[in-house]
Amino acid sequence: MSSLDPAAINPGPLSRFAHRILHTRRRNTPQGSRRNIHEHYNLGNDFYCLWLDPETLLYSCAVFERPDQTLADAQIAKIRRVLEMAGIRPEHHVLEIGCGWGGFAIEAVRLTGCRVTGITISEAQLELAQARVQAAGLADRIELRLLDYRDLDGRYDRIVSIEMLEAVGHEYFECFFRKCTGVLKPEGRLALQVITIPHERYEPYRRSPDWIQKHIFPGGVLPSREILATAMETAGLRIGQADNIGQHYPPTLRAWREQFNAHAADLSRMGFDTTFQRKWNYYFAYCEAGFATGHIDDWLLALVRR
């Protein structure tokens, strides 16, 4: 079925009920999280390398300081802002929850001289991320592990998590922040980048999966800022600084879509047919419209203990 089929976007009552049942089976338990993440990232590292910027391989909103800035430079500008909000210094041991392909960890060490431990539950991501760390000559400063955040131990000066909270799930937001509090040193700080949805739309949204949840990110749930604030406070954290960078997502998404389409022939050779490519074009455009109209936002948050 094409992603542009109206029935896929506006299903009938029976279809909505079936989708709701399926959504409840996508809960982000430790096993469910691995299954959901695998379903999105089993498209392969080569697929993502075609259209993400080759320097950072960051799959998150960039920060464009100039209209003519390249996507790679805009991603590094975002990293600099995260480092500043987190107050990361050379002597710090930084935990990154959801390290992706290692882009943040590599730039953080290059820019500050800190030490980074990164975790992911994607074996494919870990393999490429470790290779990138080795190629950068930073294996003595960066350790990457295949680990669920619920299994974390140790103590860290700073914690960073970039657009990973969307994969945590409604039932586990409080668990996530309690774990962060448990491994964060007393004077530590937590920096988050997170996509949010307005609170008045949160309950109906989380109970009935939308197109993105059904076709792109199984198990994903965008939190509202109010839901996050409650979970943070319960875990003994508060927001010390908040920057809305949602206006930077449309140009980020456009850059991804342009690169994706520039490699249409490569995608076809890799087995991604025209139906798949139309679905992903719709995904990029759907998200771009959501950010451009303010239906969703992207926040950089610095958290400290209450």
What amino acid positions are annotated as catalytic residues?
Answer: 287
Q: Which long-range contacts (CB under 8 A, 24 or more apart) does 21-25 make?
A: 22/209, 22/214, 23/207, 23/208, 23/209, 23/213
Inter-residue contact 238 to 232 (CB < 8 Å):
yes
How many angstroms separate the CA atoms of 261 and 256, rounded?
9
In the numeric block, which tokens belong to residue 92? 């710090």
How many angstroms separate the CA atoms of 106 and 136, rounded?
8
Place of tokens 């955040």: 149
Positive or negative torsion for Cα 185, 302, 71, 147? positive
